[in-house]
Amino acid sequence: MAAFVKVASKNDLAPGQCMVAEAEGKILALFNVNGTFYAIDNTCLHQGGPLGEGALDGSTVTCPWHAWQYDVTTGKNIDNPSIGIAGYPVKVEGEDVLVAVA
């Protein structure tokens, strides 16, 4: 079973925001969707854009490089749900946001 590691504090990420985080050497995109946190790979499938630097609208993140969009709750591409990026379990303990990547 994968161990959860702290990647942020709840106060680091207001609802509707995203950020880049690191866990166990893996670079993640972390999102706060109405108080629920989600983590997916930070690398867009198109040309490697940083999804954690994108724009979050509801549960959809738009890559800042070429506007590819993903559902942060599933990692699936909005235009082609047959492709997607990895998502990771997230839990909140107190003020800490933890992610399991292994």
Question: What span, in angstroms and rounded, lies between the C-alpha atoms of 25 and 60?
Answer: 25
Average pLDDT across the chain, whole number: 96
Q: What is the pLDDT of residue 29?
A: 98
- Alpha carbons 54 and 60: distance in angstroms, whole number: 10
pLDDT > 70 in the chain, percent: 99
Q: Quick one: pLDDT at residue 2?
A: 76
Structural domains of the chain, with CATH: 4-100 (2.102.10.10)
Q: In this predicted model, what pLDDT tens digit does every residue of 14-48 receive, in sequence order?
A: 999 999 999 999 999 999 999 999 999 999 999 99
- Compute the average pLDDT of residues 52-65: 97
- Asked if the model's pLDDT at residue 1 lies above 70, the reply is no
